[in-house]
Amino acid sequence: MSKLSETVTSTPEEKWGLMADAESTATTSATKAEKPEVETPKVEKATAEEPKAETTKEAKAKAEKVSLEKEPPAEQPEEKAAAATEVAETEKRPLWRRVLTIRRIAVGALVIVAIAAIVVAAIFGVQLKEERDIDAAADEARAAAEQYAVTLTSVSSDNLDENFAAVLDGATGEFKDMYSQSSGQLRDLLVQNKANAQGKVIDSGIKSATTSKVEVMLFVDQTVTNTATPDARIDRSRVLMTMEKIDGRWLASKVDLP
């Protein structure tokens, strides 16, 4: 038989098989045609530089430095023995003895605190007493200065000896010497003018004070009459008087008219 007759006489199943093989071959060819070939890039291997070899001395120095940093200094045998002995003795002590030791330490601390409190209280007590003593001295000196200012600014030409004696009795130091030297000249002036004066303290205050020396500021009004002015006139003065405590008395050592 001829080839045409062989082809015509093939079964339907055989025909379908041939068609499926043809389609599969065509699909595979199309897929290969669509996918482009990807070139794999060539990677050049980087050549690392070889480290320079260290010298023997540098390597040894680095090794010693690292060992010193990592390893702490070893304790001395004596320190180890002392620490071990102390720990052993502490562990051997009975509990009641440890408690007693703690109590003794606590009592000692309380005693120290109590002593410190007593010392602080004593210091404050001394300071408070000093302040009170200064305040008392200032009050006494102020009263004495006010009384002496009246004695100093009150004078009568008919009774000069008594006036001068009272002024000198309340003075000391520099002021007493100065008044004694000028009293003769002052006497003549008061007698010639038949002068009379009466002083009065208007106000006073403390400028500075210690237990033995006080500065007092006084404001004094003095009523004056003499032959030139028979009518009384009032002179107002500000007096800075330094009072010093001599043998239990407050005396004027300096008198200024600022």
- What was the pLDDT predicted at 86? 58
Q: Where would I find the beta strands (DSSP E) of the chain?
A: 155-156, 196-209, 213-225, 233-246, 249-256
C-alpha dihedral, 183 to 193 to 258 to 161, nearest 10°: 30
Asked whether residue 219 is domain-assigned, the answer is yes
Asked whether residue 16 is domain-assigned, the answer is no
The enclosing domain of 191 has a CATH number of 3.10.450.230
Angle of CA points 91, 93, 97, to nearest 5°: 140
Count of CB atoms within 10 A of residue 258's CB?
Answer: 7
Digit-coded pLDDT (tens) for 220-248: 999 999 888 888 899 999 999 999 999 99
Q: Are 194 and 226 in contact (CB under 8 A)?
A: yes
Digit-coded pLDDT (tens) for 118-164: 777 777 777 788 889 999 999 999 999 999 999 999 999 888 999 99
Asked whether residue 15 is domain-assigned, the answer is no
Residue range(s) defining the domain that contains residue 226: 129-256
Asked whether residue 105 is domain-assigned, the answer is no
Beta strand 196-209 with 213-225 is antiparallel
Count of CB atoms within 10 A of residue 179's CB?
Answer: 17
Asked whether residue 138 is domain-assigned, the answer is yes
- What was the pLDDT predicted at 135? 94
Tell me the three state secondary structure of residue 161: helix
- What was the pLDDT predicted at 2? 40
Shortest CA distance to 209 belongs to which of 151, 144, 149, 258?
A: 144
pTM above 0.75, yes or no: no
- What was the pLDDT predicted at 202? 96
For the record, the structure tokens of 101 come out as 């030791």
Q: Which residues of 108-141 are buried (b: 16+ CB within 10 A; e: fewer)?
A: eeeeeeeeeeeeeeeeeeeeeeeeeebeebbeeb
Q: Give pLDDT < 50 ranges for the chain.
A: 1-10, 13, 15-16, 18, 20, 22, 24-54
Q: What does the alpha-carbon distance between residue 251 and residue 241 come to, in Å, rounded to a whole number? A: 10
User: Dihedrals φ, ψ of 206, to 5°?
Assistant: -95, 125
- What was the pLDDT predicted at 212? 95
**Distant-in-sequence, close-in-space partners of 212: CB < 8 Å, separation ≥ 6:** 137, 244, 245
Asked whether residue 142 is domain-assigned, the answer is yes
- What was the pLDDT predicted at 51? 43
Q: Which residues of 66-82 are buried (b: 16+ CB within 10 A; e: fewer)?
A: eeeeeeeeeeeeeeeee
Q: Which residues pair with 107 in a beta bridge?
A: none
Q: What share of the chain is helix, strand, coil (3-state, %, to 5)?
A: 60, 20, 20
Asked whether residue 102 is domain-assigned, the answer is no
Total tally of structural domains belonging to the chain: 1
Asked whether residue 89 is domain-assigned, the answer is no
